[in-house]
Structure 1
Amino acid sequence: MQSAFSPLALAAVSAVSAMGTGLAATRQSLQDRTGGLRPADAEDHPAHWVGRVPEATSVNLPPELARYDCRNNRLAELALRQDGFADGVAAAKTRYGAERIAVILGTSTSGIAETEAAYRRRAEGQTTLPVDFDFAATHDLFSLSRYLRARLGLSGPALTISTACTSGARSFMEAEVLIRAGLCDAAVVGGVDTLCRMTLQGFGSLALLSQGPTRPCAADRDGITVGEAAGLALLVRAEDAAPGTVLVLGAGASSDGHHMSSPHPEGLGAVTAMRAALDSAGLRPEEIGYINLHGTGTRANDAMEDRAVTHVFGAGTPCSSTKGWTGHTLGASGALEAIIAALCIQDGLVPGCLGVEQVDPDFRSDVVTENRRMPLQRVLSNSFGFGGSNCSLVLGRQEAGA
């Protein structure tokens, strides 16, 4: 089967979520099965539980970039400081040149919390927002990419993707297109999203918020727990990376347009995205060792994904959702879970769903509820979003001599 995707290596990665700050904390949380979801604060109403990153509150941006100060960019800055990520980008800049590195990031709400705060700061009867509120540098969707581009001293192509919960995953796809087209040699990709009232109230109005920590795939699951996270990756051509480096081997996307907030009940768009990802990687379904489900914890989404996964892979491929650890981190989830998939490959770990005593008896896929140790060469990571946006990534290990 001819591949239509140029494999890209994850030359550097960083992850910050409710699981912890940095890759070591993320790994430990997965291995110890200790999730990061906590009871919500009063400001999080109507949510009962959230996946918060407390450290984001105290992060300071460089003084010369102070105009970009908002929680979303602070969380991005926190991720930049972990796991030698900024140093990895600096080395790539020396090798390729600042103008040859793209910045492609996903977010669904960007710095909307800053706008919410600006509205609350208005005096009684005042209709205009405070004069010190900088929409372009904080709330605007491009704020995130502008900030990281300036912070890292890059001058290549830059864009922000906002396709709901597939945003972070789509950044990997767009990077492959730009690198294959010769428009750049490397790309900083990923996703960053932070807690805000609009998101919590929105999911509350849809009656989708869980009463306790979210339990994807459980027979008694009752909804999502909203979280916040930053997942960043530096992508380079496979031949530019060392043997053993995890690669993005393929990607597929679709838009089924079934409903604004509900998935197609049979998962037709999900099936299309998964098949496209396999085809682009030149792989058969049986060559995937583990599937990281989108697995939000809602009745409809999890049931749809089970049908779609079984349709493509049958009932024998281990699968699970890691949102029980992190909550649903929206536009960051696809990037964060791609990084988690890379860690699973490196560690030979299939992380079983947290808090699930009984899998939905109607499910036919092999939903894992306890951690399994097993060699993993290829992992598929799913992301599905509002409006019928679907994206699947295939990750695998770089072999010696490849």
Structure 2
Amino acid sequence: MTRCFLNSMSMISALGAETSDVKNRLLSGLPKLAFSQKYHSAGNALPIALVQEALAPIPLDDQKWHSRNNQLAWTAAQSILPDIQALISTFGKERIGIVIGTSTSGISDNEHDMHINAQSGALPDSYHYGKQEMGAPASFLGAALGVCGPVFGVSTACSSGAKALASARRLIRSGVCDAVIAGGVDTLCKLTVQGFSSLEAISEEQCNPFSVNRKGINIGEAAALFIISKDKSDIELVGVGESSDAHHISAPDPSGQGAIRCMTAALKDANITPDKIHYLNLHGTATQLNDQMEAKAVAEVFGNNTPCSSTKPFTGHTLGAAGALEAAICWLALKEGFIPKHLWDGCHDDSLPSIGLSEGEQNCTLQYALSNSFAFGGNNISLILRKV
């Protein structure tokens, strides 16, 4: 099989965009969630993981590209733009693909315009339905970068960003592309905040994964992009495992069998045993059902000795971007030799199996990291990254 390497990475979230800041906050246990009423019709302020940095302007005139979601994707692309331009020079624009996961796309912009329509009876000139199409971020990046290989979106809820990386590897292994720009982007909107609120899955406090006191998720926004190619670098995508529970539209299979299957499949794909994993990034949403299922699955595959953490108390649950963002955190942990702190109140839930929740560790030697993403409909994926 063709080996695929994660040559470059860029991420932006509530943790910031500078990798040194991200690392320090993941180790110190200092999140940057803000309380906001903006996205919740009930009016009470909720902890929201907002991106605080100024976003890059859209470089294209066509109104359909002018969304906050595309701005966030374009901002993430800026730090790896020289590498992208080098790819185009080396391989040609026809041999480069773009695969981007999202679940909201530009819905937040169209929410604003539809509100104006409800008040005035007319849509503003800024409205364009194409802003909220799930393929819009990938198509926008393709147009902005001048790439004309395969360009498409992935929208499988919270596994979208991770699925994009798996799709990129398939494009390279099949010989369709020489390199792929892959990742995920999602921005905050009322649809998701109020939708999860209606499911009684939103916490009015900072989320508290795997605690007996957990009360649900915090919604966040983020973008994370990778350049994936056959060119050898020091981080390799060595394992992909996917499964589908088909158990319930929004609840995971409580047995954890779907999660067990995809973690086991990723280990088999990487040709390693569970003891080789030095860090496991948990899906860890802090909902009752997810944490119950994931603890059961992780305990069965890894026992309680593998260091693991959920990074969602730092970033919020970034939905379609989560799988790519958490793979980026694994990429950074492998590069920098650290294990992110599991941020919670320390109150164990005795109904959950014991797993190796991390206190945070610096200056350690890591070779393999695994990242879990479990989505609505039981759409599961595990990625394994290796430091070469």
> Which secondary structure does the structure 2 equivalent of 1:364 belong to?
coil
Question: Counterparts of 1:3-402 in structure 2 under 5 Å?
Answer: 6-46=2-42, 48-55=46-53, 58-64=55-61, 66-82=63-79, 85-122=80-117, 124=119, 126=121, 129-130=123-124, 132-136=126-130, 138-237=131-230, 240-242=231-233, 245-373=234-362, 374-398=364-388
Residues 312-358 of structure 1 show CA distances to partners (whole Å, capped at 9, x for unaligned) of: 12222111100010000000000000010011112221212113322
The question of whether the paired residues in 2 share the 8 Å contact of 1:79 and 1:231 is answered with yes
2:21 is matched by which residue type in structure 1? A
State how far apart, in whole Å, the 2-side matches of 1:342 and 1:62 are. 29
Residues 316 and 204 from structure 1, CA distance in 2 versus in 1: closer, same or farther, beyond 3 angstroms? same
The question of whether the paired residues in 1 share the 8 Å contact of 2:165 and 2:182 is answered with yes
2:16 is matched by which residue type in structure 1? G
> Which secondary structure does the structure 1 equivalent of 2:129 belong to?
coil
Residues 342-399 of structure 1 show CA distances to partners (whole Å, capped at 9, x for unaligned) of: 111122212121133223233334332421233211011000000110000000111x
Shift of 1:232: 0.4
1:109 is matched by which residue type in structure 2? T
The question of whether the paired residues in 2 share the 8 Å contact of 1:22 and 1:79 is answered with no
Gaps of 5+ in 2: none
Shift of 1:23: 2.2
State how far apart, in whole Å, the 2-side matches of 1:74 and 1:98 are. 22
State how far apart, in whole Å, the 2-side matches of 1:10 and 1:375 are. 19
The question of whether the paired residues in 2 share the 8 Å contact of 1:6 and 1:249 is answered with no
State how far apart, in whole Å, the 2-side matches of 1:33 and 1:274 are. 27
Identity, % of aligned positions:
41
> Which secondary structure does the structure 2 equivalent of 1:315 belong to?
coil
Residues 7 and 294 from structure 1, CA distance in 2 versus in 1: closer, same or farther, beyond 3 angstroms? farther
State how far apart, in whole Å, the 1-side matches of 2:358 and 2:307 are. 10
State how far apart, in whole Å, the 2-side matches of 1:311 and 1:45 are. 41
State how far apart, in whole Å, the 2-side matches of 1:73 and 1:378 are. 32
State how far apart, in whole Å, the 1-side matches of 2:119 and 2:82 are. 48
Gaps of 5+ in 1: none
State how far apart, in whole Å, the 2-side matches of 1:314 and 1:6 are. 32
1:70 is matched by which residue type in structure 2? S
> Which secondary structure does the structure 2 equivalent of 1:187 belong to?
strand
State how far apart, in whole Å, the 2-side matches of 1:389 and 1:7 are. 25
Q: TM-score normalised to the size of structure 1? A: 0.92
Residues 376 and 365 from structure 1, CA distance in 2 versus in 1: closer, same or farther, beyond 3 angstroms? farther
2:197 is matched by which residue type in structure 1? G
Residues 199-228 of structure 1 show CA distances to partners (whole Å, capped at 9, x for unaligned) of: 001000001111211111122111000000
Count how many residue pairs are aligned between Structure 1 and Structure 2. 385
> Which secondary structure does the structure 2 equivalent of 1:383 belong to?
strand
User: What is the Cα-based RMSD across aligned positions, in Å?
Assistant: 1.7
Q: TM-score normalised to the size of structure 2? A: 0.95
State how far apart, in whole Å, the 2-side matches of 1:315 and 1:78 are. 39
State how far apart, in whole Å, the 1-side matches of 2:63 and 2:20 are. 29
State how far apart, in whole Å, the 2-side matches of 1:359 and 1:310 are. 15
> Which secondary structure does the structure 2 equivalent of 1:54 belong to?
coil
Residues 281-322 of structure 1 show CA distances to partners (whole Å, capped at 9, x for unaligned) of: 111111111110000011110110010111112222111100
State how far apart, in whole Å, the 2-side matches of 1:132 and 1:325 are. 33
Shift of 1:34: 1.6
2:129 is matched by which residue type in structure 1? F
1:307 is matched by which residue type in structure 2? K
Residues 381 and 303 from structure 1, CA distance in 2 versus in 1: closer, same or farther, beyond 3 angstroms? same
> Which secondary structure does the structure 1 equivalent of 2:105 belong to?
coil
